[in-house]
Amino acid sequence: MKNLQTANEFDVIIVGGGAAGLSSVLWCDDLGLNAMLIEAGEELGGQLLWTYNQIENHLGATAKSGREMRDRFVKQIQKRKFLLKLSSEICEVNLKIKSVTLKHNEKFTAKSIIIATGIRRRKLNVEGEEKFRNKGIIESGKRDQSFVKGKMAVVVGGGDAAFENALILSETAKSVTLVHRSTNFSARSEFVEKVRQTAKINILTETVVQKITGSKRLEAVELKNLQTDESSKLPIAALLIRIGVEPNTELFRGKLDLDNAAYIKVDSIYETNIKGVFAVGDVANPFAPTLSSAVGMGATAVKAIFNRISS
C-alpha cells in the first residue's frame, strides 16, 4: 500500500481490516481523503479469513473461499494511497476528539473515525477450550473434513451453522453428535430435517458441554443433561463450536450507544451517536451480516464523510 503521508493527522481513521474496512479505505482514496487503516491481526481480511465455503452470493464476484475473495480485495487496494498499520492493537481511543493510541504510545488523530471491527465466534468458556484449540477443536467442517475421517466428532449449537457443519462432517466422520442446550433450534427447517434423516448424526438436546479433556490432543467431552442433571463422558477426536457470534465492541463500551447485544447503534448513513464516528460492517449490522452489506456500508460512510468535509 502506498502511504499518502507519515504525519499523525488524517481525514479518516478506519479501525478494522475486514471487508467493511477495505471498502472504506478504497472509497477514501477514490474521493481523495487521507486515510489510515488499523488492523489488530497480522493480515487483512477479517472474517473472510475464516470463511471456508464458496462465496456465490456477492454480486459481481464469486470465490472458492473467503481467503480467495480477500486476495481480490487486497489486490484492488494495493496501489491506493493510505497508511496501513497491521498487528496494531489500540490501547486507548478518544472518540470525542477522534484520537487513537497504539502500543508504544503512537497516537493518531482524524476528522472522522470509521469502526469496522467486526464480530467473533462465541466461546463455550469451559475448561480445556483454549488448551485444545487446533488440537482437536476444529475451525470449520469444510476445512477439517479430512481430519475427522473415520473419527467421532461433536458439533455444539442449534443454528444454521451448526447443522450445516454437522452435515458436512458426517460425510467423512464415523459419527457426529450435535449438542444443543435447548429443544428448539434456530436452524432452517430444511437443515433440521436433513440432519434428522442422516443416520450418522445423533442429536442431544437440553445438553451442554461442561469440560473438554485429553492429554496432548482432545480425547473426550464431558456433557451435562440439563433436565436430569446427569453427567456423561463422550470419547471424540474433534469438536466444532457454533453457538453464535458477538461484536468486537469492548473498546467502545461506555463510549458509544450499543444495543442489548452490544452491537453499535447507527443511523441511515452509519453514523453513531457521536458526530464524525461511524460504524460499518457486522459490528453495526446484526440483522444482515453479509459481505455485500459490509462493502456497501463502508462506501456509504465514506461518502457521508466526504460530503460533510466538502460542504
Identify whether 2 is part of a domain.
Answer: no
List, for residues 247-263, the tens digit of each pLDDT value: 999 999 999 999 999 99
Q: Is 41 exposed, middle or buried (0-12, 13-18, 19+ CB in 10 A)?
A: middle
Are 99 and 43 within one domain? yes
List, for residues 93-105, the tens digit of each pLDDT value: 999 999 999 988 8
Nearest to 174 by CA among 151, 195, 197, 196: 151
Looking at residue 4, its pLDDT comes to 44
Are 254 and 224 within one domain? no
Are 23 and 165 within one domain? no
Task: Give the confidence band of 226 by pLDDT, cuts at 50, 70, 90.
Answer: very high
Q: Which residues pair with 277 in a beta bridge?
A: 113
Identify whether 300 is part of a domain.
Answer: yes
Are 153 and 169 within one domain? yes
List, for residues 170-201, the tens digit of each pLDDT value: 999 999 999 999 999 999 999 999 999 999 99
Q: Across all residues in the chain, what is the average pLDDT? A: 96
Mean predicted confidence (pLDDT) in 21-29: 98
Q: How far apart are CA 197 and CA 200, in angstroms?
A: 9
Counts of helices then strands in the chain (DSSP H, E)? 5, 19
Indicate the pTM of the whole model: 0.92
- Portion of the chain with pLDDT greater than 70, in percent: 98
Are 23 and 39 within one domain? yes
Identify whether 172 is part of a domain.
Answer: yes
Structural domains in the chain (count): 2
- Element containing residue 213 per DSSP (H, E): strand 207-214
Identify whether 126 is part of a domain.
Answer: no
Which domain covers residue 284, as residue numbers? 9-121+245-310
Query: Do the Cβ atoms of 129 and 208 come closer than 8 Å?
Result: no
Are 212 and 249 within one domain? no
Nearest to 166 by CA among 154, 180, 152, 174: 154
CATH of the domain at 110: 3.50.50.60
Looking at residue 103, its pLDDT comes to 87
Output the furthest CA–CA distance in the chain (Å, rounded).
67
List, for residues 107-152, the tens digit of each pLDDT value: 999 999 999 999 999 999 999 999 999 999 999 999 999 999 999 9
Q: How far apart are CA 301 and CA 241, in angstroms?
A: 34
Residue 85 has pLDDT above 90, yes or no: yes
What is residue 133's DSSP assignment? Answer: B
